[in-house]
Amino acid sequence: MKVLLTTDGSKYALDAIESFISRLAWFRDAPAIDLVHVHLPIPVGRAVAWAGKEAVERYYAEEAAAALAPAEELLTRREVAFHAVKLVGEPGHEIVRHAEAAGCDLIVVGTRGHGAMANLVMGSVATKVIALARVPVLVIR
């Protein structure tokens, strides 16, 4: 089994990952884990013109490293093997795209628990993933 764990570096994402790994005994064999962070794209034309392509790529890499670090530390401390993945794009779409491309059997997402009205107004990555995914999605609140 292959599991995609999502993180944006928030406490909510870290809590979801902690909750998931505390239940690894549910699996007969340890699942392969992709730890995925998706950075929203910045207006590339302006950024590249102003700072240069290398600076934009460095920015994405630094931001992803900072967002992934707490989850990487947690997984490493708990001796859970994982593969970190850094993506750029609309988070809901990129998470589902990666899950399909990597052959993931389950997507795990954390949610802040804003409620239905807030999701209606501002949307949610978890809601988007649920709507688009072709594999089961475990939402941890």
Distance of CA 93 to the CA centre of its chain: 11
> Structure pTM?
0.90
Q: Cα–chain-centroid distance for residue 6?
A: 2
Whether domain 2-140 has CATH 3.50.50.100: no
140: helix, strand or coil: strand
Q: Which two tokens stand for residue 33?
A: 């884990």
Q: Report d(CA 116, CA 35) in Å as an integer.
A: 27
Separation of alpha carbons 23 and 116, rounded Å:
27
Q: Pull the structure tokens for residue 35.
A: 């730890």
Structure confidence by residue, pLDDT tens digits, 76-126: 999 999 999 999 999 999 999 999 999 999 999 998 755 555 555 445 899
Per-residue pLDDT reduced to its tens digit, 5-42: 999 999 999 999 999 999 999 999 999 999 999 999 88
